[in-house]
Amino acid sequence: MKLNIVPPRQGLLWVRMGLSTFWRQPLAMAGLFFMYMASVTVLSLVPVLGIGLSLVLLPAATLGLMAATREADQGRFPMPLMLISAFRQGSGNTRAMLVLGAMYAVALLSVMGFSALFDDGQFARLYLGGGLPSEAEVNADGFMTALWVGMGLYIPVVMLFWHAPALVHWHKVSPIKSLFFSVTACWRNKGAMLVYAAAWMACFLFFGMGLALVGALLGGTGVISVIMLPAVLLMAAMFFTSFYFTFRDSFSDES
């Protein structure tokens, strides 16, 4: 396995490849992403253990979306079974992916636990529960501090786990080593990763502006509230489709 160093402009290409691949198989990629979101949501509703279980399975589910993207990129129709690709290569691969998931759950819950020191856990509850804060909650003492602390600490967690599921699955790297290689790749290609993040932020910004314009033309806030959720999920599906290309260009099979 070889780490490839790519130029910053590669970040824009990753976004473009994600968008073009999604639109080659829009029904399949959108459907798989909705299945992914539905599975995570249902698991998180299980009393006591639900949130922890959904976090443990998140790296495997993300790998499934990456595997589906690879299928679409190679001109094949990604089937629903692609979502469980992480658990279809033997007990060793399954065990490694679950270990990676457990480490992710511990890392994220630790970040949320630390942020809870600033606002008695309000931000953590909203983040893990998937809710949106009210104006009163945003203005509550410590909430914004907890938000910025949580987001700041989550950045290194993202870097550690960004490539890790794919490294475990396709390169048979151990979970611990996958974290090291993932954060190294993110850091060595930080220019491309920053361009990639900025480009997606711009996409979501223009998408939001377009949505507001459409809502205003068709009837105001009532129309926006109806189309907001499916439209946001569609954009998120395109974003997740681009994950695979950040991995594909960062690592190769060469020694």
Higher pLDDT, 120 or 111: 111
Is residue 229's pLDDT more than 80?
A: no
pLDDT, tens digit (0-9, with 9 covering 90-100), for 72-104: 999 899 998 898 999 988 888 999 999 999 999
Quick one: what percent of the chain has pLDDT higher than 70? 90
* Residue range of the domain that includes 89: 2-252
Mean of the per-residue pLDDT values for the chain? Answer: 88
Is residue 160's pLDDT more than 70?
A: yes
Please state, in angstroms and rounded to a whole number, the distance separating the CA atoms of residues 158 and 106.
13
CA within 13 Å, CB half, 94: 6
pLDDT, tens digit (0-9, with 9 covering 90-100), for 164-175: 999 999 999 999
Higher pLDDT, 254 or 76: 76
Q: Is 46 helix (H, G, I), strand (E, B) or coil?
A: coil
**Which pLDDT score, from 0 to 100, does residue 254 have?**
62
Angle between helices 221-241 and 10-24 (to 10 degrees): 110
**Highest mean pLDDT pick, 25-29, 102-106, 126-130, 210-214:** 102-106
**Which pLDDT score, from 0 to 100, does residue 200 have?**
94
Q: Are 123 and 153 in contact (CB under 8 A)?
A: no
Q: How many domains does the chain have?
A: 1
Average pLDDT over residues 237-248: 94
Residue-wise over 107-130: b if at least 16 C-beta within 10 A, else e? Answer: bbeebbeebbebbeebbbebbbee
Confidence of residue 58 (pLDDT cuts 50, 70, 90): very high
**Which pLDDT score, from 0 to 100, does residue 163 have?**
96
The tokens describing 132, both together, are 């949106």
Q: How far out from the chain centre does Cα 204 lie? A: 15
Average pLDDT over residues 61-68: 93
Cα dihedral 151, 19, 129, 210, rounded to 10, equals 90
The tokens describing 153, both together, are 């600490």
**Which pLDDT score, from 0 to 100, does residue 125 have?**
82
Is residue 17's pLDDT more than 90?
A: yes
Least confident span in 43-47, 106-110, 235-239:
43-47
Confidence of residue 131 (pLDDT cuts 50, 70, 90): low
**Which pLDDT score, from 0 to 100, does residue 128 have?**
79
pLDDT, tens digit (0-9, with 9 covering 90-100), for 164-208: 999 999 999 999 999 999 999 999 999 999 999 999 999 988 887
